[in-house]
Structure 1
Amino acid sequence: MSDNETNLALGRSFHQALVSRDWDGIRVLLHDDATWTLPGDNTISGTAENADAVVERAQRIASYGLDFELLHLLVSRENMALSLHNTARREDAVLDEYLATVCRVHEGKIASIETYLSDVPGMNAFFV
């Protein structure tokens, strides 16, 4: 399997585990020292500093009832990214954002994640 195919499979596995709330499935895709950085100033912003913290971040995000629609799975020579449309609604707020979750891959596992958002103020208002 080529690096591109491996990274595509890794991206599909990450998205599927997130959608199905398979936290153990996410954990096995990560290096022990993996990180996840999100912009903004809210309950999910900042950098999660190890694999367990990355899983906790995914759990916290999912606990808000998000729908994680995969638009595209993208690969570079060595890494991959998920293009997503995340939506959620509650009585006092609506989330409707597009994002790129860029994953640096090392030895077939996710070493770091950085998320780029279309609407940081909207994210701040939703994740209070």
Structure 2
Amino acid sequence: MPQYDAAHRLGETFHGYLAAGDWNGIRTLLTDDATWTLPGDNTVSGTAEGADEVVARARKIASYGLHFALLHILVSRENMALSLHNTARRGDVRLDEHLSTVCRLRDGKIASIETYLSDVAGMNAFFV
């Protein structure tokens, strides 16, 4: 059971750093070769490669004023996922999406992140 506890704590820590804008904290949770893939066709879509790019992506997403509401931390035998409800408003444009951010772990750190969205079209309209 301890590996599940460690994965759960890693999810809590990742979300806490993201919500607080602690970019150095996020960096400490990532392997050097970490990646983050997001769907869509907008300024935050595609794959960020390397820990510094992953942190830059998190920073860019947060710069749009998102509120990252943590719904659940889900653990598998070897990995972890965050179930989130992200909301934000920029002028007349609103973001209101549910998502799952799946983190593949290696040696106690996040090696890759893949985000699944409920509203890719809404994300495309918001992140311009």
- What's the secondary structure of 2:70's corresponding residue? strand
SS of equivalent residue, structure 1 residue 58: helix
Distance (whole Å) between structure 1 residues aligned to residue 67 and residue 13 of structure 2 = 16
What amino acid maps onto 1:64 in structure 2? Y
- The CA deviation string for residues 59-90 of structure 1, in whole angstroms up to 9 with x for no partner, is 00000000000000000000000000000002
CA distance in 1, matches of 2:83, 2:90: 24
Q: TM-score, length-normalised on structure 1? A: 0.99
Q: Which residue of 2 aligns with 1:71?
A: 71
Residue type of the alignment partner of 2:119: D
Cα deviation, residue 92, structure 1? 2.7
Give the letter aligned to residue 35 of structure 1.
T
Matched, 1:51 2:51: yes
> Counterpart in 1 of 2:32?
32
What is the alpha-carbon distance in structure 1 between the residues aligned to residue 91 and residue 111 of structure 2? 37
Partner of 1:126: 126
Question: Which residues of structure 2 form unaligned runs of 5+?
Answer: none
Displacement of 1:91 after TM fit?
1.0
4+ aligned runs moved over 6 Å, structure 1: none
Q: How does 1:1-128 map to 2 (within 5 A)?
A: 2-128=2-128
Secondary structure of the residue aligned to 1:37 is strand
Percent of pairs identical after alignment? 72
Cα distance in 2, alignment partners of residues 66 and 9 from structure 1: 23
Task: Provide the C-alpha distance between the structure 2 equivalents of 1:22 and 1:73, rounded to a whole number of angstroms.
Answer: 19
User: How far apart in 1 are the matches of 2:90 and 2:14?
Assistant: 26
Indicate the RMSD between aligned Cα atoms, in angstroms: 0.7
Total equivalences in the alignment: 128
**TM superposition score normalised by structure 2:** 0.99
